[in-house]
Structure 1
Amino acid sequence: MAWRRFLPAVVELLSRMHPYPGLTYRCDDLTDPAKRVAWVELLQEIFGIDLGPFSALNIWPPDYRAFSYLDGEAMAANVSLRPMPMMIGGRRVEVGQIQSVATRPAYRRRGLFGDLMRRMLAEADRHYECQMLYTVSPDLYMPFGFRPLTEHYFRGQLHVAAGDAGDLRIERLDIGREEDRATILGLFNRRRPVSDHFGLCDDHAIFLANLLARRDWHLSFLPAEQALIVWEQRDRTTRLLDIVAPRIPPMASIAAALELSEMTEIKILFPPDRLVGNLTAAPYKTDDNVILMVRGPFAIEGTPFMLPPTAES
């Protein structure tokens, strides 16, 4: 039949109109838990991360966006964008963080990653002054305008005034307990960024996700201050990871929560501009060589800073 002569041209035309036959493009906020199932399964397969318990908490940020291709009910590839409002150099900046970048092996080398990145960045440029991401493969993102930054941690001693802590009550919270999770979430209603130089204004969702993944972190709650001190012991060194509070507690209270003696040296994994102590900056390197990249204006570039581990994703 004559129409068969035109079939190859028709197929080629349809392929250009839809470059990924068999796949369905979707941009979704994933606020519907049922739609998050495919997202959870993808990240479990690619990274070995089980975000099912976090998804079940149903504290999903409404402005989250997942740009993905689906093969039926399964997610073949995904690039996500979440809001991350921050204080940067003393000014509130609307930042978008790129995360959950993953493609199943069977769908790689088909251009899905590049396609989703371009779609995502077009959206990001409309809503965010700059974008950030963490990666072990910076070369993948440089063609899209991202550049690597060196983070710094801070080490030294806190200045503890005698008697500041008084009769301080300290409670250990457990992220696995519903009542403790409610206490933690309640703190975010009044939280002030841990740093005015580089600190998050709101990160309650990713904060809880990280606490669920890192059950070795200590959660010391100071009821009188309504402050949560997140810390860990690593390589015989105390590392202060974050403080969630309406104001920074006295240094003596922080030292007590960290179980520090007066002269103990600590490492602080966020800018200490709101702390009092003798602290110096040093380049920070993760065990798995994850680095921070940024796209767009970044006012504090070239100064020591670090995003708290509680906010990383």
Structure 2
Amino acid sequence: MPGAEGLTYREDYFADPAAWRGLVNLLHDTFGIDVGQLDRLGGPDPTSRAFAYFDEAGVCVANFSLFSMPMVIDGRAVRAVGYQSGAVRPEWRGRGLYRDLMQRAFAWANAAGCELELLLTDKPALYEAYGFRAVAEHDFKGLAPMADSGVAKGRLLDLDNPGDLALTTRLLATRAPVSSRFAVTRQGEMFLLSAVFDGDIRLSYSASLDLIVAWQMDGAEFKVLDVVAAKMPPLSTILAAIGTTATEVTVCFPPDKLGWEGEALERRPHAGLMIRGNVSLIHPLALSPMAGF
């Protein structure tokens, strides 16, 4: 394409260690994040498909990726994809590379028969031209139910511990969606990466219930971010597994499975959710922060 002289187009290249490292470096240099930590967490999402340009020295100068993001929406399984890792090195901007890679990714998703496409961005106008629309996300805040007295407090996990990492990976592979209204059904890599990126996130494991709760204290606010279990328990059981004495709780996903209701408060994220596709949504809704991409 014009503007790509001296570059090599590559697609689906994660099996090449040097090319994967090129993407790691691009994202680190652009956003200051180290997705290379996925190497010790089990590797990148095997459903990912990257679209990129590399220069003659093997440097990744532009990339746009997609990955399978199966969801349940209003009780129905939905075939969805997420877009991520979009970046162009400064010296290569203004040549149409990003637009070219986006269009390649969008065409691939369309040919694969995806029903819904999602992305997170702080530049919504860039994607509105391609039919994406912004969707408001909400957290749910209310009085904490009394914790179940028969449930023992769980222990904190450490993902630097190989045993804890293996345990977390096992549960992520067989998890139930946190909501029937709007939730991912599989996205283990982003859960692990989110936990590593944010040192304030805690993972509590209950051996008796075989579940993991991702939670944090945001100032004085107690937040339940995600629950990884084969079957979702009520919020009273979740709070007992954490061992919290909080009187108020904020749940960061639709609480329809929790036996509890909270006031819906619009989330104000740095990067907002956008979607494209003919799928009916039940509001209010939100992705768990652990499913962020």
Q: TM-score band (shorter)? A: over 0.9
Distance 2:15 2:6 in 1: 25
Question: In structure 2, what residue type is equivalent to 1:129?
Answer: E
Among 38, 55, 59, which residue is 2:22 paired with?
38
Shift of 1:175: 1.4
Shift of 1:121: 0.3
For 1:42-61, list aligned pairs within 5 A: 42-61=26-45
Distance 2:154 2:93 in 1: 50
Shift of 1:52: 1.8
Asked if the contact 2:124/2:134 (under 8 Å) is kept, the reply is yes
Matched, 1:104 2:89: yes
Distance 1:189 1:78 in 2: 28
Among 215, 228, 252, which residue is 1:244 paired with?
228
Cα deviation per residue 1:15-50 (whole Å; 9 max; x = unaligned)? xx6651101111115134333100100000000001
Query: Structure 1 residues 29 and 275 mapped into 2: Cα distance closer, same or farther (>3 Å)?
Result: farther
User: Which ranges of structure 1 fall in alignment gaps of 5 or more residues?
Assistant: 1-16
User: Which ranges of structure 2 fall in alignment gaps of 5 or more residues?
Assistant: none
Q: Residue 187 of structure 1 corresponds to which residue in structure 2? A: 171
Q: Residue 300 of structure 1 corresponds to which residue in structure 2? A: 281
Distance 2:39 2:213 in 1: 24
Asked if the contact 2:233/2:257 (under 8 Å) is kept, the reply is no
Asked if the contact 1:83/1:96 (under 8 Å) is kept, the reply is yes
Shift of 1:196: 0.9
Q: Residue 309 of structure 1 corresponds to which residue in structure 2? A: 289
Question: In structure 2, what residue type is equivalent to 1:304?
Answer: P
- With structure 2 as the length reference, what TM-score do the two structures score? 0.94
Question: In structure 2, what residue type is equivalent to 1:153?
Answer: D
Distance 1:224 1:61 in 2: 30
Among 111, 122, 129, which residue is 2:115 paired with?
129
Asked if the contact 1:191/1:244 (under 8 Å) is kept, the reply is yes
Question: In structure 2, what residue type is equivalent to 1:243?
Answer: V
Task: Name the SS of the counterpart of 1:208 in structure 2.
Answer: helix
For 1:60-209, list aligned pairs within 5 A: 60-72=44-56, 73-127=58-112, 128-160=114-146, 164-166=148-150, 168-209=152-193
Cα deviation per residue 1:259-285 (whole Å; 9 max; x = unaligned)? 333x71111110000012241211110
Distance 1:32 1:228 in 2: 33
Question: In structure 1, what residue type is equivalent to 2:278?
Answer: P
Question: In structure 1, what residue type is equivalent to 2:202?
Answer: H
Task: Name the SS of the counterpart of 2:142 in structure 1.
Answer: strand
For 1:17-36, list aligned pairs within 5 A: 19-36=3-20
* Count of residue pairs the alignment pairs up: 291
Task: Name the SS of the counterpart of 1:277 in structure 2.
Answer: coil
Task: Name the SS of the counterpart of 1:110 in structure 2.
Answer: coil
Among 171, 191, 213, which residue is 1:229 paired with?
213
Query: Structure 1 residues 268 and 167 mapped into 2: Cα distance closer, same or farther (>3 Å)?
Result: closer
Asked if the contact 2:135/2:273 (under 8 Å) is kept, the reply is yes
Asked if the contact 1:192/1:201 (under 8 Å) is kept, the reply is yes
Task: Name the SS of the counterpart of 1:39 in structure 2.
Answer: helix
Query: Structure 1 residues 228 and 136 mapped into 2: Cα distance closer, same or farther (>3 Å)?
Result: same
Shift of 1:93: 0.6
Q: Residue 274 of structure 1 corresponds to which residue in structure 2? A: 257
Cα deviation per residue 1:71-125 (whole Å; 9 max; x = unaligned)? 1210111100011000011101111100001000000000001111111100011
Q: Residue 283 of structure 1 corresponds to which residue in structure 2? A: 266
Asked if the contact 1:85/1:202 (under 8 Å) is kept, the reply is yes
Cα deviation per residue 1:231-259 (whole Å; 9 max; x = unaligned)? 00012010110000011234333112343
Larger Rg, first or second structure (1 or 2): 1
Shift of 1:67: 0.5
Distance 2:151 2:45 in 1: 38
